[in-house]
Amino acid sequence: MVAPVRPLGGGRRERNGVLADRAIPVLKGALRRLWLDIPGGLTWGGSGGLLGALAMHPILTELLSKGPVITDGAWGTELQKAGMPLGEFPDAWNLKAPDRVGAVARAYVQAGSRVILTNTFGANRLRLADAGLVDQVAAINTAGVQISKAAAAGRALVFASMGPSGKMLLTGEVTPVMLREAFAEQARILAAAGADGLVVETMADLSEARAAVEAAKETGLPVVACMVYDSGRLKDRTMMGTRPEEAANALAQSGADVIGANCGQGVEGFVAIAGRLRAATSLPVWIKANAGLPEYVDGNAVYRTTGEQFASFLEPLIMAGADFVGGCCGTRPEFVAELSRALATLPPKGGIDGRGPAH
């Protein structure tokens, strides 16, 4: 399949003076697409060598140099299994029960995650204020990174999680400036604590996601930007109606280094989304699906998809264009182990220097 190469600046309204800056990434994208079209070449998005050096943050180039990367699974549902009471603010456990948060992180590293996240999804000032924890923004985020770094022990990179504010821009509940400042504060703390990257995730509002990405970019770390596609007949829109193509373009313009989708539906729905993101952007694609939709048994969410079933979608996801694959709600360390096993059985596709995946 030959992906269309977008003409420079094509289809986008450029403001005066921005064109030169925009032309460079578009050109890199065109080069990368040409590379992806080399027969028998790298059919997934991971790129190394010349193009990686041109197009990607060095941390991502290094990560993707051996092919697709397995990330981690869910944290919230794992912490509940570890005894976190319902109603507890999960991020507060970084201070109250760091050993149990660390156990989740270690389990993912042992299962084969090459990137793990942090228990900082809700640790922006706007959400912490609602939980009465606004004076602990720095402590909770710093501890979150330290816990994951200690668990990774150099065997995995730590990309720190930044979730939504929980406030609606549309209704005026929060202003763009408030959002930007809250995300910038969190991103600065996560970066100072030693995060290797930042993951803006589970976003439903593209404007909020863009504010978070722009704030996160100021740290100089690679930034992953993920929306939740859980709406519409095909479950290919965010709650606010945004489609993958629109999100990919807007998030790239905001500076995202990786474009992703997470949560909201089971893994089978993510193959089409990965393909649409791949067609819309030359940036690496990040996918974290749920373990199906939960059933509620005695008030508890039960996820029926098994790790094996989940991992059977690894190859279709990679063929569709995913570069990073992990899991969201309901996925567990055994899902990561199954994904790692499945990756090892995929035929090498060959890299720019013919190395292919080192498995």
Residues that bind Zn ion (CB under 5 A): 263, 328-329
**183 and 191 Cβ atoms separated by less than 8 Å:** no
Minimal distance, residue 262 CB to Zn ion, in Å: 6
Instruction: Say which residue the tokens 């040409």 belong to.
Output: 34
Residue 318: CB atoms within 10 A of its CB come to 25
* 63 vs 329 by CB, closer to Zn ion: 329
Contact 150, 94 (CB under 8 A): no
Closest separation in Å from C-beta 90 to Zn ion: 12
Nearer of residues 136 and 161 to Zn ion, judged by Cβ: 161
Q: Which one, 294 or 356, has the nearer CB to Zn ion? A: 294
Q: Which is nearer to Zn ion, 329 or 339 (CB)?
A: 329
Q: How far is the CB of 296 from Zn ion (least distance, A)?
A: 16
Smallest gap from residue 201 Cβ to Zn ion (A): 8
> Dihedral, CA atoms, 281, 10, 53, 112, nearest 10 degrees?
0
- Min. distance of Cβ 71 from Zn ion in angstroms? 13
Sign of the Cα pseudo-torsion (244, 258, 194, 110, in order): positive
Rank residues 29 and 330 by Cβ distance to Zn ion and give the closer one: 330
Considering beta carbons, is residue 111 or 263 the nearer one to Zn ion? 263
Sign of CA dihedral 246, 234, 42, 314: positive
Q: Which of 113, 268, 11, 60 is nearest to 104 (CA)?
A: 113
Question: Which two structure tokens, joined as six digits, stand for 33?
Answer: 């697409």
Q: Give the whole-angstrom CA distance, residue 189 versus residue 193.
A: 6
Minimal distance, residue 329 CB to Zn ion, in Å: 3
Smallest distance, Å, CB 328 to Zn ion? 3
Smallest distance from the beta carbon of 290 to Zn ion, in angstroms?
Answer: 5
Q: Cβ closer to Zn ion: 252 or 329?
A: 329
Report residue 272 CA to chain centroid gap: 17
Residue 43: how many other CB atoms lie within 10 Å: 15
Alpha helices in the chain (DSSP H): 19-36, 49-55, 58-64, 76-81, 93-96, 98-111, 125-130, 137-152, 176-192, 206-217, 244-253, 270-280, 307-311, 314-320, 333-345
Rounded Cα distance between 339 and 16, Å, is: 46
Which residue's CB is nearer to Zn ion, number 212 or number 328?
328
Taking the complex as a whole, the smallest distance from the CB of residue 227 to Zn ion amounts, in Å, to: 12
Rounded to the nearest whole angstrom, what is the least distance from the CB of residue 16 to Zn ion in the complex?
A: 41
CA atoms within 13 A on the CB side of 153: 9
Dist CA 103 CA 99 (whole Å): 6
Closer by beta carbon to Zn ion, 56 or else 160? 160
Nearer to Zn ion, 64 or 117 (CB): 117
Instruction: Give counts: helices (H), strands (E), the chain.
Output: 15, 10
